[in-house]
Amino acid sequence: MISIIVPAYNASETILDTLVSVKNQDIYDAKVELIIINDGSSDDTEKLITQFICENKHMDITYIYKKNGGVSSSRNLGIRKAKYDWVAFIDSDDVWANNKLSEQIYIINNSGFNIDFIGCARNDEILSLYGKKITKLHKACYKELLIKMFPQTSTAMVKKSVLDRVGGYDETMTHSEDGDLWIRICFEYDFYYMPESLVVTGGEKHNFGESGLSANLLAMEKGVQYTLLKLFKSKIISGPFYFFLKFFCYIKYVRRLFISSYNRRMKAKSKGFF
């Protein structure tokens, strides 16, 4: 029923916690496969993955080592290899709650709605849209995602058929690639968000301004602007809305720069550097 895709690159410090959280999912009757894509790691990532596989031979695990090509190419390879109807993503520095998949499967089977995509909260965060907190199952529209991107990748489950139809990840993108894919899915399919927090991401780092890809704010902004241009050229958004979003996203980028700078100063101050 579910193909779980784990892309990994130089993730020796975190990969085992991620894989153990997948192993501990309380979905006893569901068919599950785990697809691990090693994106050319040069540390002990492969050694740790091999160790995990040897210790868990009862699990359906596919392991692929590939030349480094970026997280989008790794996820797309995982999608192509997936054999089940649903695809769940988890990054190699994130951890699922034991009931993450079971909670989402329950909603898919019992909500009464057609669901093509479902994500959830992470790190106990509460999503607010237009000043209103999301406290129950929410069907998103693509314009909401253009104003405030959600959910985080490791919270998402998507029908494989949907990923195949929209073309998967844009492998030319190294930042904001999830937002690009989410918008394409949300524009055509039933895209849902549940407010339960079922994932811990990146050691509970902030969305931006610390370690990982999200720390590169300029590259993220370029990725966002590239996505907007693609949407405009494909006529998903109008000219006036495109220019409004360009300005709006730039203002958010400047705000993030200030917040990131403030967070670094406070962190340094707490360590006695000031």
133 and 6 within one domain: yes
101 and 31 within one domain: yes
User: In this structure, are residues 154 and 143 in contact, taking their beta carbons and an 8 Å threshold?
Assistant: no
In a domain? residue 119: yes
Write the DSSP assignment of the chain as a string of letters.
-EEEEEEESS-TTTHHHHHHHHHT---TTS-EEEEEEE-S--SSHHHHHHHHHHH-TTS-EEEEE-----HHHHHHHHHHH--SSEEEE--TT-EE-TTHHHHHHHHHHHSSS--SEEEEEETT---EETTEE--S-EE--HHHHHHS----GGG-EEEHHHHHHHTS--TT-SSSHHHHHHHHHHHHS-EEEEEEEEEE-GGG--SSSSSSGGG-HHHHHHHHHHHHHHHHHTTSS-HHHHHHHHHHHHHHHHHHHHHHHHHHHHHHHHTT--
CA angle 265, 148, 184 (to 5 degrees): 130
130 and 66 within one domain: yes
Rounded CA-CA distance 194/246 in Å is 28
Q: Which residues contact 91 (CB under 8 A, 6 or more apart)?
A: 6, 7, 18, 71, 153, 154, 201, 202
In a domain? residue 207: no
137 and 7 within one domain: yes
pLDDT for the residue numbered 150 = 96
Tokens of 58: 């009862």
pLDDT digits (tens, 9 = 90+) for 87-134: 999 999 999 999 999 999 999 999 999 999 999 999 999 999 999 999
Query: What CATH number is associated with residue 130?
Result: 3.90.550.10
Q: Which of 140, 168, 201 is the last residue of a domain?
A: 201
**Averaged over 178-204, what is the pLDDT?**
93
149 and 36 within one domain: yes
175 and 85 within one domain: yes
Tokens of 202: 């990146």
In a domain? residue 24: yes
How many domains does the structure of the chain reveal? 2
User: In this structure, are residues 9 and 43 in contact, taking their beta carbons and an 8 Å threshold?
Assistant: no
140 and 108 within one domain: yes
In a domain? residue 102: yes
Residue 215 has pLDDT above 80, yes or no: no
β partners of residue 89: 5
In a domain? residue 111: yes
pLDDT-derived band at 183, boundaries 50, 70, 90: very high
pLDDT-derived band at 29, boundaries 50, 70, 90: confident
101 and 234 within one domain: no
255 and 144 within one domain: no
Tokens of 235: 């006529």
pLDDT for the residue numbered 211 = 43
Boundaries of domain holding 240: 213-271
In a domain? residue 206: no
pLDDT-derived band at 142, boundaries 50, 70, 90: very high
85 and 155 within one domain: yes
pTM, to two decimals: 0.90
39 and 117 within one domain: yes
pLDDT for the residue numbered 204 = 47
pLDDT digits (tens, 9 = 90+) for 219-270: 889 999 999 999 999 999 999 999 999 999 999 998 888 888 887 787 777 7
